Structure formats: C-alpha cells, structure tokens
Structure 1
Amino acid sequence: MISSHLSSFTGLPVLPFTPGMTLPGDPSAVAWRLEVEDFEADPAEFAALVAALRDEVPADAVRALVIGEWGSAYERALPVDLLVEAAEKWTSLRAVFLADLVSEQCEISWLAHGDITGLLAAYPSLEVLRVRGANELRLDPVRHAGLRELVFQTGGLPGSMVRAVGDCDLPALERLELWLGRQDYGGDTGVDDLAGVLAGTRLPALRHLAVCNAEFANHIAAAVAAAPVVPRLEVLDLSKGILTDSGAAALLAGQSLTHLRRLDLHHHFLTEGVCEQIVAALPGVQVDLSEAQKVEVYNGREYRFTAVGE
C-alpha cells in the first residue's frame, strides 16, 4: 500500500501548482505537481490547470512534472494528451511521474490509464518516466534515445506491457523497474513475457533492474539466474514478492552474482538458514533481506502476498 505522496522527484522538491500563485524565486528548481482537489472533478478542470501552468510558469522552468488526481482516476484515463499538446513549449521537461495518488484517493490497481506511447514520442529529451497503476495501460514499442529511467509501479502489470518494454529500443536506459503484482489485479506476466528485458539486447546501458512485487517470484528468480542481462547489472531487485527457499536456491545455482553492488530481496518468505546462505555466497554484495514475511494460514490453506496488490 502506498500511503504518502512524493515530497521530491529527481532531486527536486515537489511544489503543487495553483493558478495565480506567487512563483518561487527559481521556478525551475522544483518539480511541479498538477492535481485537482475533487476526485470526481470534470475533465475541464484538470485541462484548465495544465493550461494555467503553460501560461503562468516560464516554459524553460518546467523541468519535472508530478501528476496527481485528475478527476475520477478510477474510471477516467489520465489525460496524457494534454502533456503531449504542451511538448512544443515544454522543451526543457526531463522527468514525468504519472499518477502519484495514494490508496485513500484510489487503489493502485484501479488507476485508469491509456496509451502512453505518444508521451515518449512527443518528448525525445525525456530522461525519467515513472507510472503508477496499469489498468488499461498501453505502450507500443518505440525507440527513445534519451530515457534513462523507466518505472512501472503496479499491483498487476499485464504481460503485454512487459513485452512492449522488452521490444522498445532504449539505448540510454540505466534503470528499469517492473512491479509485476498479482493475477487477480491484472498481473498476468509470465517468464516468457520477460524474455526481451532479460536478454537486454535493446538495453545496453542497463545497470539497475527491478523485476519485483511478483507473485511468481520463484519462477522469475530461476529465469534471472541465466539471464544475459545480469552480468552488466550493478543492482538486481527481486523484492516485494513471494520469494521462497526454492527461488533463492535457483538464483544461487545460476550465474555468479558477486559482481553486483546490491541485491534487493526485501519482503520475502525465506527461512533464516537460506538467508545466511545468500549472504555467505555473495561477499562484498549489499544484500537486503529485511521485512521477512510469515505465511498466513486460513482454514488449513497457506497464503503468501506481494507487498503491493489492490
């Protein structure tokens, strides 16, 4: 569950934009947050907010945008087209966060999206794109020479989205996060869907890979154990999922991970002995094994849950 909004984004403090407000001394030193207060606001209200930002803030001062509530986020797709229309003016925009909403506003698996391909096409100099939620989210494979960080925070990421990412040509991408989530929230990604990402052919600069929050974390760990992309990584993140001893054994039985700077396995279902084996096998690697989870038992059945779901 995500319970707090961003206070900073790409190193810049987040500042909510209000039409007619007094601008800070350096309006380029903040990440501008766009959000309507009424969660059922008419679409025209958010459109007017975007227009006001375009009119009142110098174009070259819009370096980072954080999009909050746009009105009926649970049923109306985030209006990416408004950002696309502003691209000719916002040539300095380098970072975008789509849907920084907390669970009290809208559960992550309910956040409505549409096709975000146009956003990447409109901003060839964009360096950071983070998206929260994946309901109806779409992406066509594209080439983008500027993107360095791509993050999808979801309670259920469709396999079609993962395949699209793997088919994108992203020569500058250094960080990729895929929160896969659970089947009952749309997370139908299988190991085969990850083939393009794990091959790394179109991701030559990748150094930080998160394939996390996964219901089938053991299968993913086994795939990662032989993935061609792993030797070039500095950080491997398999956290927030349902990783058990068998997945950890498969991971350790694969290719060497001693070159990693960090292995993130927090929120796991590993036994204490296996945790000790992982640390012993990876001297010099910072291994995060925090947040050990307990199996929940109801009516004789065992249940394990990812960190982020609904």
Structure 2
Amino acid sequence: MSYVRHVEQFHGLPAFTYSPYIEPGDLPDPGSVAWRLRCPEEPYESDYAGRVEEYWARFVASVELERVRALIFGAPWWGPGGGLPDEALFAVGPRLTALEALFLSDLEDDEAMISTIFLGDLAPYLEAFPALRELAVRGGEGLRFPAAGHGALRALRVESGGLPPEAARQIAAAELPSLERLELWLGDEEYGGGTTPGDLAPLLRGEGKPALRHLGIQNSPDQDAFAAALAAAPVVARLDSLSLSMGALTDTGAAALLDGRPLAHLRELDLSHHFLSHAMMVRLWTELEPAGVRVELGARREPEEYGEGEDVPEWDDEPGRYIAVAE
C-alpha cells in the first residue's frame, strides 16, 4: 500500500482538478469541491513558468473565488522548476473569503520523493488566511511553523518522510487554541527526521492545544519510545482517538501503552503498520475492545532482512523493521 497518493477528498469535499480547457459554465459549484490546482503542462517544457501563470489566471477568472472553501496545490507548483510564486495566492487572498482548507504539495510517488519536497515557512499562509480551519502539507524539507500559532485552525496534518526535529518542536510549542486534530508523520532520520519524545514535550503535556481530540504521532522508526511517552502523557486523557500507525511499533511499545494511563475512554486506537506478535494483538483486542475502544491493527508487518555488510540502524533492536513512508 502506498500512503503517498493524490488526495481524493479534502475537508469533506471531493477533490476536483481544475482544467483550463473546461468552459466556466461546465465547472462544478465553487463551494462543492476541493479545487486541485495542477498545471497540465510538464515542467521541462519551454516557458513552463509562463504556462503556470496562464493556468492560474484562467482559474482566477473562471471560478467565483468568494465561494471557494478548499484549495489543493498539486505538483509542480513552486520552486526552481518554475512554479507560481506564493504571492500570487496571497494577492487574491481578500477574495477567498470562504476559504477554510488548504493542502500544500499534493504530490504522489511517481512525481517526487516525499523527503525531497520543500515546504518552507508556513507563517505567511497562516497570516494570509486567519479564518483557515484545516491545513495539510506534504513534505518537510525547510519546514517552519510559527510559534504564535493560529486562532482558528482545527486540523493540522504534516505528511513527511523526514520531519525536521526543529519543525516538530515548533508545532509542539505553537499556540493553537482551536486545534482538534493533529497528525505528524515523523519519518526517518536518514531523510531529515529524528524527532524524539522530548521534542514534543509541550504537546504531550497538553499545553497550547486545549481543544485537541485526535493525536497522530505516526511513521516513526522509534515508535516504541513514543508509545512509552504517551503512556504517561497528560494529553491522552482528553483524546477521543490516538494513532501510532505507520511506524515500527513492537510489543515493547504496545505493552507500555497498556500498562500506562487508562485508554478505555478512547473511541479509537490506530496501531496499523506494526511489528506486534500475535499474542500482543490479542491482548490489545481483549483489554480494550470490551471497553468500547476500536483497535485498528491490520496485518502484522514482517521485518526485512539486511543484506550482507549493511549497517543495522541504532534504533532497530529487531533488525529489519521499517516505517510506511520514508523517501
């Protein structure tokens, strides 16, 4: 299974890729879809930057921006490949009065490696759209998140094969009083990751995000350490759902969770993509599902074998464990 695909739905709306070849009268209602902006021209074509500008200009002229609720920016859009500058979006910000959701860098596997997607500073986006309720980003390189946070944001998702620890610390410390859902794909240290539980200390203590109801600390090679940290974390008591999916979770981490703070108040516990024994899987179901907790496990992953002469990572106590998304 690939976790890195074009989104088909965003902010509760079906994704619709805008085409400049569709007549304005044939386009869907502006507020009924999440508009994916993806120039149909290939980036290696001559004057690609000009083509992107034309594509954006036609979208702005064809769609009633005042009714647009969600935007998805596909690839390639920014950067040295000739993408549209961020200022083009910010320039029409005053017209995007209904905008509630923004997805940056909707690239899939055959377009770019997730670990190489450059994001940069998210502060200008949050400042430009103070009413934004949902923000999702894919990538991680260069990511920065403002400590001042955002007053209206209710959902934040960072999909990364290597989330820089500094960015993780910034998100953990940010003031997000309305945030209800937070998902962080931490990724591998070899691809820019390396976040530790200590980096997320304010988040685990429950600081700065009083409305949080879903927490996903996902896609980590050291998922056992995060499970152990969450077992004693005050934030867990206020959650409705918790995800430690996509990582290299073993019996050690699962046992720490079960032996830590009570989990019976959770509606769902997602541990899918794991390396648990059958006995531990049964224990999780037996102890939590009678209390009303939906435990999502899926199939157990089998460790890969290292080749002769390959170095075993320091975190890999059971050689061959891997995360769902790295490069």
**TM-score tier after normalising by the smaller chain length:** over 0.9
- SS at structure 1 position matched to 2:228: helix
| Residue identity matched to 1:142 | A
Q: Aligned match of 1:200 in 202, 206, 219?
A: 206
Equivalent position of 2:325 in the other structure: 308
1:1-310 pair list within 5 angstroms? 1-2=2-3, 4-19=5-20, 21-23=22-24, 24=27, 26-37=29-40, 38-40=42-44, 42-71=48-77, 79-282=85-288, 283=290, 284-299=292-307, 302-310=319-327
Q: Gaps spanning 5+ residues in structure 2: where? A: 313-318
| CA displacement 1:45-86 (0-9 Å, x = unmatched) | 334333332222112122110110135769778843332222
* Stretch moving more, 56-65 or 225-234: 56-65
Name the CA distance, whole Å, in 2 between partners of 1:70 and 1:28.
24
Name the CA distance, whole Å, in 2 between partners of 1:303 and 1:194.
26
**8 Å CA contact retained: 1:39, 1:71:** no
Inter-CA distance 80–71: structure 2 relative to 1 (3 Å threshold): closer
Name the CA distance, whole Å, in 2 between partners of 1:222 and 1:212.
14
**8 Å CA contact retained: 1:206, 1:233:** yes
Inter-CA distance 50–75: structure 2 relative to 1 (3 Å threshold): closer
| Residue identity matched to 2:49 | P
**8 Å CA contact retained: 1:78, 1:113:** no
| Residue identity matched to 2:326 | G
Name the CA distance, whole Å, in 1 between partners of 2:99 and 2:176.
18
Inter-CA distance 253–2: structure 2 relative to 1 (3 Å threshold): closer
Residue 297 of structure 1: how far off its partner (Å) = 1.8
Name the CA distance, whole Å, in 2 between partners of 1:216 and 1:81.
39
**8 Å CA contact retained: 1:31, 1:63:** yes
TM-score for the superposition, normalised by structure 2: 0.89
**8 Å CA contact retained: 2:52, 2:83:** no
**8 Å CA contact retained: 1:148, 1:174:** yes
Residue 12 of structure 1: how far off its partner (Å) = 1.6
| CA displacement 1:172-211 (0-9 Å, x = unmatched) | 1110000001111111211111112112221111101000
Name the CA distance, whole Å, in 2 between partners of 1:153 and 1:85.
27
Name the CA distance, whole Å, in 2 between partners of 1:168 and 1:249.
31
- SS at structure 1 position matched to 2:168: helix
Name the CA distance, whole Å, in 2 between partners of 1:142 and 1:76.
31
Name the CA distance, whole Å, in 1 between partners of 2:88 and 2:7.
22
| Residue identity matched to 1:34 | L
Runs (4+) off by over 6 Å: 72-78
Name the CA distance, whole Å, in 2 between partners of 1:251 and 1:75.
45
Name the CA distance, whole Å, in 1 between partners of 2:196 and 2:137.
21
Name the CA distance, whole Å, in 1 between partners of 2:90 and 2:234.
35
* Stretch moving more, 20-29 or 110-119: 20-29
Residue 6 of structure 1: how far off its partner (Å) = 1.9
| CA displacement 1:97-128 (0-9 Å, x = unmatched) | 11111110111111122111110111011011
* Stretch moving more, 230-239 or 270-279: 270-279
| Residue identity matched to 1:27 | P
| Residue identity matched to 2:57 | A
Q: What root-mean-square deviation, in Å, do the aligned CA atoms of Structure 1 and Structure 2 show?
A: 2.0
**8 Å CA contact retained: 1:157, 1:188:** yes
Residue 226 of structure 1: how far off its partner (Å) = 0.9
Residue 305 of structure 1: how far off its partner (Å) = 0.6
| CA displacement 1:147-178 (0-9 Å, x = unmatched) | 11000011111111111112211111110000
* Stretch moving more, 56-65 or 233-242: 56-65
Name the CA distance, whole Å, in 2 between partners of 1:291 and 1:76.
42
- SS at structure 1 position matched to 2:237: helix
Inter-CA distance 211–119: structure 2 relative to 1 (3 Å threshold): same
**8 Å CA contact retained: 1:13, 1:30:** yes
**8 Å CA contact retained: 2:67, 2:97:** no
Name the CA distance, whole Å, in 1 between partners of 2:159 and 2:86.
17
- SS at structure 2 position matched to 1:27: coil
Name the CA distance, whole Å, in 2 between partners of 1:57 and 1:77.
21
Name the CA distance, whole Å, in 1 between partners of 2:88 and 2:201.
33
